[in-house]
Chains A and B, each alone.
Chain A
Amino acid sequence: MANVLINAPKSVKKGQAFEVKTLILHPMETGFRPGTNGTIIPRNIIEDFVATYNGVELIRLKLSSAIAANPFVAFQVAVTESGTLAFRWTGDEGFAIEQSVAIAVE
């Protein structure tokens, strides 16, 4: 079950900046940690986070093992028309989660 928390306003003023906050459940296993038997636990991280608005890319993050578990990403957006704010997280072990929210411009 995808467990994602997205915080963005439902309606905004045209062109006015607003903050978007995202949290996703993921262990972000670094690939550098030995397990209890001494062998290294294989890396399992989210490598890419992309946010788009009406299909146009807003921000793309290339993540590394240095990102904390349950990654949090927040950024500031301004839009001029109503539309869909979509997010995609992809990573090791075929991890791929998409989620979107609607934004209305007043």
Chain B
Amino acid sequence: MRRLALVVLAVFAATYAFAQTADKRRSGYADMDASVQKMQDDDTANPAMLWVQEGEALWGKPVGSANLACADCHTPARLGGMAGVAARYPAWSPALGRAIDLEGRLQLCRTLHQKGPALADESRELLALTAFVARQSRGQPVASPDDRRLDATLRSGETLYKRRQGQLNLSCAQCHDDNAGQKLAAVTIPQAHPTAYPLYRLEWQALGSLKRRLRNCLIGVRAEPYPYSAPEYVALELYLAKRAQGMKVEAPGVRP
């Protein structure tokens, strides 16, 4: 009898310990209809690959007064040469003295090295280049850098994430931490992991950045969205990347 009690206790303890350590993080992919999952999984059917293909062409095209293509510095230019890069962003830019996201990094290369004009925020070219680079990190774990210079940005991202805002007076955390997995109308609230960006949203009928999605959330709680150039986005992106540390990059994903 006592032996049985011990066994029960041991099983309970093991289960409890497992539950404490098991990763409960879940990509929004897991909650999608199988038909949408299939669209993301098959590169020959994933509409985001139209942008990846365009990004590959742009990667090899010389621009700016330096007449340099991305491929002139980063070789090989074909898919694979930039593997793991997107998984590390946002990262610290010594040139700018602040954190930048992947789009910011591409813009910096353009203005600093290629000596050309920056691309418009959320433009097809910028999305295409971002998708081309991000595609090369698919399957790799999110590897947000352990860099002390990012600490202040990370803290400000966490504050923004947890701060109530907008007419609905809701924080990101209230939906995506406290109520993730619950329904908002017919939609399952995701945990808000940024692993599939840039992604093709069926609602947008186009590829869009994580900034566009964050802007979408701000509009959803009826807050004034920040302009695309606002540092708040990079701070939130960094906090989300840290939260998703180790999860697999799915870019370019598909979401409803």
Question: Within 8 Å by CB, do A and B touch in the complex?
Answer: yes
B44 sits at the interface (CB 8 A): yes
Contact with A along B47-59 (1 / 0, CB 8 A): 1011001100100
- In the assembled complex, 19 residue pairs joining A and B whose CB atoms fall closer than 8 Å, in A order, are A1-B54, A3-B50, A5-B44, A5-B49, A5-B50, A5-B53, A21-B44, A23-B44, A23-B45, A23-B47, A24-B50, A25-B54, A27-B205, A28-B205, A69-B205, A69-B206, A70-B50, A70-B206, A74-B45
Scoring B44, B54, B205 by chain A CB atoms within 10 A of each residue's CB, the highest score goes to: B44
Scoring A23, A27, A68, A72 by chain B CB atoms within 10 A of each residue's CB, the highest score goes to: A23
The chain B residues found within 8 Å of chain A, CB to CB, are 44-45, 47, 49-50, 53-54, 57, 205-206
Contact A21 B45 (CB under 8 A): yes
Contacts of B54 in A (CB 8 A): 1, 3, 25
Given A1-B57, A3-B54, A5-B53, 4 extra CB contacts under 8 A: A1-B54, A3-B53, A5-B44, A21-B44
A76 sits at the interface (CB 8 A): no
A7 sits at the interface (CB 8 A): yes
User: Would you give the shortest CB distance from A24 to chain B, in whole angstroms?
Assistant: 8
Contacts of A72 in B (CB 8 A): 45, 47
Q: How far is the CA of A74 from the CA of B39 in the complex (A)?
A: 13
